[in-house]
Amino acid sequence: MAELVTLERDGAIGIVTLRRPEKFNALDVPMLRALEAALDEAELAEDVRAVLIRGEGKGFCAGGDVEAWGRLSAADFQVQWVRYGHRVFDRLARLRQPTIAVLSGHALGGGLELAAACDFRVAEPQVKLGFPETSIGVVPGWSGTQRAVRRFGVQIVRRMAIGGEIFLATEALTHGVVDRLVETGKAFEEARAWGEKIAERGPLATEAAKLMIGIAEGEENAAATEALASGFMALTADLKAGVSAFKAKQKPAFSRS
């Protein structure tokens, strides 16, 4: 059986690929699990400094597979689908490396929510973006009314989620929904080049900047604050003195250095 999501490494770039092209990479629970595993692997790869997210075939991601969630009970829909999907998308949004969504195909519903969880979006002009969920009697469930509002602005999300507007990437660029617009067939090339430039920057400074921006926008808070403070403390002589004294069962002699 072919892998549903893969992680490849190209130098300092990690490339996560959704591989369900016959369904335009629509997400079901096995795909979400595979995506979560790929993100965990990328997080632990010390030599990976930027991560690209792309879809195989003609679509980036058509969102949640209706056949997968349509048969769930209300309780299972809430827990197994919405809450679990949130967990996976939060995992992407909080990945330590900067992330770039490669939009060479449409990103609709959950697909746009997936792209919104990335730090940047590179799109080709033919790509369509929107939140069409209310047309089938459901609402965006993987942060389309939360993270997307924080990152794109309330009115543009209102137009997509309530007004039903679908935007081509050319117009989405003017609204800040995508960051760069490139010629058809060039999205991956552009995203890879951008990722390489990011990878040349100081990795620890880049990760710290991403955490601080996450705190400012409400993406991260307690965990990010504690991670920044703990990372600082890990570099101090006081920590080394404290650990050494603990092992020796002695009173530590701190130097505030």
The residues that are catalytic are 113, 133
DSSP 36-63: HHHHHHHHH-TT--EEEEEESTT-SB--
Report pLDDT for 124. 98
DSSP 8-state code for residue 163: S
The model's pTM is: 0.91
Strand partners, 53: 16, 101
**pLDDT tens track of the chain, all 257 residues?**
579 999 999 999 999 999 999 999 999 889 999 999 999 999 999 999 999 999 999 999 998 887 777 676 777 677 677 888 889 999 999 999 999 999 999 999 999 999 999 999 999 999 999 999 999 888 898 889 999 999 999 999 999 999 999 999 999 999 999 999 999 999 999 999 999 999 999 999 999 999 999 999 988 777 778 777 877 778 888 878 878 888 889 888 878 88
* C-alpha atoms less than 13 angstroms from C-alpha of 158 in its C-beta half-sphere: 3
